[in-house]
Structure 1
Amino acid sequence: MTSTGFTPGRILRLLVLILGSLIFLAPYIFMISTAGKAQDDIFTSALKLIPTNFYYIENIAKALSKVSMGTLLFNGVLVCGLIFFFQVLIAIPCAYAMAKLKFPAARIMMLLVMLGLLIPIHATALPLYVGFNSLSLLNSYTALVAPFSISVFAIFMFLQFFRAMPDDLIHAARLDGMSELGIVARVIVPNAWPAVTAFAIFSVVAHWNDLYWPLIVITKQAYFTPPLGLMYFRAAEAGDDYGALMAATLMITLPLVAAFLLAQKRFVEGITMTGLKG
């Protein structure tokens, strides 16, 4: 009969997990705490997580008065949504072809995908900027979306998932007279939702928090993404308003937290099915 009590080993594992959770959550906890403090309360010698006087309403009101939060959130959702749509639209057929079709260039394509994983956006930022500038596409949604529309990480991730799918399913669809595009649309995509959901978390979080590329190609406030909008709170002479900054950051990160909590089950399923099978 197995014991269901707390053994020393289980207690140790729980303590390690709790400690790890606190370490990872510490920045977010500090952000929530700072969002409710006055400027004088932030710069005290004693570190207190619970504010002496709660200034959440004041800091949120100040944040909303400094930036157009609706525009920032709209731009963030639009840009992340378009990037994710094009990434999935391109990655699924590419991954299917590499996983289930036999053609001479398959190994070369796999090599290119692996090499693509090693190239950061910083290495291609200058030629991309010059190209968008010559096409007069700076300060546009195109400049924000186009460089990320093809994701080698998405191709690699879906490739691992499709390799685990039974070949008999594909052969049966071909016997029914389906074309390869029909198989992708009617067989592959309906079965790929766990992988798509898992990749959605990676893609949305990465591009929602991206400051580097928008800072290069965007100067008009109408196209500012959420991280770019936080730069409104910088004030070299008067000092940075950290209370309002943390309040704005809290409002910007809440959609990501809510999305992850809603999709965490499928996220774990997708990571398990794509990461452990090859």
Structure 2
Amino acid sequence: MKTEALTPGRAIRFGLLSVCALIFLAPYIFMISTAGKAQDDIFTSALSLIPAHFYYIANFTKALTRVPMGTLLLNGVLVCGLIFSLQVLIAIPCAYAMAKLKFRAARLMMVLVMLGLLIPIHATALPLYVGFNGLSLLNSYTALVAPFSISVFAIFMFLQFFRAMPDDLIHAARLDGMSELGIVARVIVPNAWPAVTAFAIFSVVAHWNDLYWPLIVISKQEYATPPLGLMYFRAAEAGDDYGALMAATLTITLPLVVAFLLAQKRFIEGITMTGLKG
């Protein structure tokens, strides 16, 4: 296998990428280090990434026993899974209609999608809260999932992907007698997995780490999502026990890291094919 020579330009690029990677990884490295330290080691004047005394077992034991960590992780998986499933179920037909069907309101729908991208959840939080309170749906999975079931970002992302698909493929399916829903289910969806995987990373990371909305609608621990559970952990039990707090944070963020590493190839393919590169 032939290897390329290390030119000065390649060495400079590699060095810059290594420095950038180290900067981005520094908080996670510091979190791993703190999760294995005793309280006295954390607040010393000398900063050392290697713990003087390894307290990983003690800190992780506190993290897994002081709050119902299993329930928090299960709630996170359930909420993120429901949100993602509903978003894809709604976004794919909408994006297909806007990309491949001709109708008068297509341009208006595109304008509405672009406007929807500009509206943050903070702007609609109060009316949504009042509505859920009036329906007695606070402290429920419905309150956590329903506001995010329609994602204009997903519609926009799939729209860019579907526009790149050849029209001949759609015409051939119509000549075979497929309905539009059949085309979506049997032609569009099987070819859209790179975009779906890429969007899955965006959706799961955003809603797994979301604290703002669960903090508003959830006050019972049995419905708490992982970030909200960290607040309960620190407020109720941990206090200033930062070693245990970092161990709990690692436990909650590890599934995201594993999921991204497993889907990294598809994620890059999806970003490239949807034209969302920076």
TM-superposed deviation, 1:239: 4.1
| Residue 144 of structure 2: aligned partner | 144
Q: Which aligned pairs between 1:210-249 and structure 2 lie closer than 5 A?
A: 210-235=210-235, 239-249=239-249
Tell which deviates more after alignment, 227-236 or 115-124: 227-236
Cα pair 2:238 2:244 within 8 Å, conserved: no
Aligned to 2:160: 160
The residue identity in structure 2 corresponding to 1:114 is M
1:37 match: 37
Aligned-residue identity in percent: 87
Change (3 A) 1:236 1:139: closer
Partner of 2:6, secondary structure, is coil
Amino acid at match of 2:42: I
Which sections of structure 1, spanning at least 5 residues, go unmatched? none
Structure 2, gaps ≥5 residues long: none
Q: Deviations over 1:142-180 (max 9, x none)?
A: 000000000000000000000000000000000011100
The answer as to whether partners of 1:233 and 1:240 remain within 8 angstroms in 2 is no
Using the TM superposition, give the Cα deviation of residue 63 of structure 1 relative to its aligned residue in structure 2, in angstroms: 1.0
CA contact (8 A) 1:214 1:224 kept: yes
Is 1:269 the counterpart of 2:269? The answer is yes
Q: Distance in 1 between matches of 2:26 and 2:5?
A: 30
Residue equivalent to 2:201: 201
Which residue in the other structure is 1:78 paired with? 78
**SS state of the match for residue 89, structure 1?**
helix
Taking structure 1 as the reference length, what is the TM-score of the superposition? 0.97
Q: Quick one: distance in 1 between partners of 2:240 and 2:134?
A: 36
SS at match of 2:263: helix
The CA RMSD over aligned residues, in Å, is 1.6
Secondary structure in 1 matching 2:150: coil
Structure 1, residues 33-92: CA drift from partner, whole Å, max 9, x if none? 000001111111111101000000000011112111110000000000000000000000
Q: Distance in 2 between matches of 1:38 and 1:8?
A: 45
Q: Tell me the CA shift for residue 116 of structure 1.
A: 0.4
CA contact (8 A) 1:233 1:241 kept: no
TM-score of the aligned structures, taking structure 2 as reference length? 0.97
> Does structure 2 retain, via aligned residues, the 8 Å contact 1:35–1:246?
yes
Paired amino acid for 2:157: M
Report the residue type matching 1:139 in the other structure.
Answer: N
1:26 alignment counterpart: 26
Q: 2 CA distance for matches of 1:102 and 1:71? A: 47
How many Å separate the matches in 2 of 1:65 and 1:224? 16
Q: Partner letter of residue 206 of structure 1?
A: A
Structure 2: how far apart are the matches of 1:202 and 1:194? 13
Distance 1:276 1:136 in 2: 40
Give 1:241 deviation, angstroms: 1.5
Letter in 2 for 1:182: G
Alpha carbons 1:72, 1:225 under 8 Å: kept: yes
1:59 and 2:56 are equivalent in the alignment:
no
Deviates more, 1:229-238 or 1:103-112: 229-238
- 1:249-260 alignment runs, 5 A limit: 249-260=249-260
* Count of residues in Structure 1 that have an aligned counterpart in Structure 2: 276
Report the equivalent of 2:175. Answer: 175
CA 1:204/1:168 → structure 2, altered by over 3 Å: closer, same or farther? same
Letter in 2 for 1:199: F
Change (3 A) 1:276 1:43: closer
Deviations along 1:207-237, one digit per CA (max 9) or x if unpaired, are 0000000000000010000000001233499
Q: Distance in 2 between matches of 1:75 and 1:176?
A: 44
2-structure distance, mates of 1:157, 1:120? 18
**How far apart are the structure 1 equivalents of 2:41 and 2:190?**
53
Alpha-carbon offset, residue 273 of structure 1: 0.1
How many angstroms apart in 1 are the aligned matches of 2:75 and 2:161?
A: 31
- Native 8 Å contact 1:35 1:247 kept in 2: yes
Whole-angstrom distance in 2 between the partners of 1:240 and 1:234: 8
